[in-house]
Homo-oligomer: A and B are copies of this chain.
């Protein structure tokens, strides 16, 4: 709803494929005015945003530093899409907060930062509160399909014994960054070495599990995460072409246990030539719930709209770090 004729100034930070989609979505939102764009790549500095995002106002050029455009965004919202990792995003989040700018971010760990960064999350929460701004991590995964939608589906049932949610995504035809992220084209050994080295795989599945627990009133004392390659059974003509036996994507699972009993099971497959793309959810409760999203939520576009639709919401929310569970339903 918002005040009539008063739009909220927003800036996009991080002009990768998701950031550009966010900028495009922001342009078509009647509640928002896109007034700034920031990317640290020197090759983009000073360019007209309209060269990257068709329809962007001619007045918006790409800045390298948030500080340069902070005054125009005060009281508005930074739409932040630079990193999956909380540590990497933190200095940018802090700059925005100190400048009095709300933040909606695709940073996966920010969806529930207390899971892996409890102390820094508390400090960030306090900083946001003291500057009167709200910070939200959202997207489609984490941020919706395996957490917010699960919690919404479980809003009208009794005590929950277990939740099992699955997402299967076709990676062909998706952005290259996603294909790289899930190891498409690697050998099995290369994939395993990356898993071994740490930091490989989809970021945010454990955060989704934590959000499920919070939203559904489940306790867990142990969280197990596993990442495995999905190998191409036959050659995939692509693009990209994937040789037989090479990595076609990943399978990832997080299981939450309460005193040895599995209470949360989230499974994610992002691979080439999946049999069927879908999101599926089963809640063992009274009454039970079984729900399927045919084709699954479209990752990139849904992420961009998750961010843009939340922008007006954060301006009206309590200051501090917000989770997607606290957002009202709707656009």
Note all chain B residues with C-beta closer than 8 A to A215.
329-331
Q: Which residue of B has the minimal Cβ distance to A308?
A: B158
* Residue A328 is within 8 A (CB to CB) of chain B in the complex: yes
Contact B330 A156 (CB under 8 A): no
Tell me, in angstroms, the Cα distance from A329 to B323 when the chains sit together. 10
Contact B292 A216 (CB under 8 A): no
> Given contacts A148-B155, A154-B331, A328-B326, is CB(A293)–CB(B295) below 8 Å?
no
Q: How many A residues are at the interface, by size bracket?
A: 35 or more
Q: How far is the CB of A280 from chain B (nearest CB, A)?
A: 10
- Interface flags for A309-331 (1: CB within 8 Å of B; 0: not) read 10000000000000011111111
* Residue A151 is within 8 A (CB to CB) of chain B in the complex: yes
* Residue A203 is within 8 A (CB to CB) of chain B in the complex: no
**A residues within 8 Å of B by Cβ?**
25, 28, 140, 143-144, 148-149, 151-160, 214-217, 286-295, 297-298, 301-303, 305-306, 309, 324-331
Q: A286-B298, A290-B294 are in contact. List 17 more A-B contacts (CB 8 A).
A: A28-B158, A144-B155, A149-B153, A152-B152, A152-B330, A154-B331, A155-B327, A160-B331, A215-B330, A216-B331, A217-B331, A287-B301, A287-B302, A290-B293, A325-B329, A326-B328, A327-B329
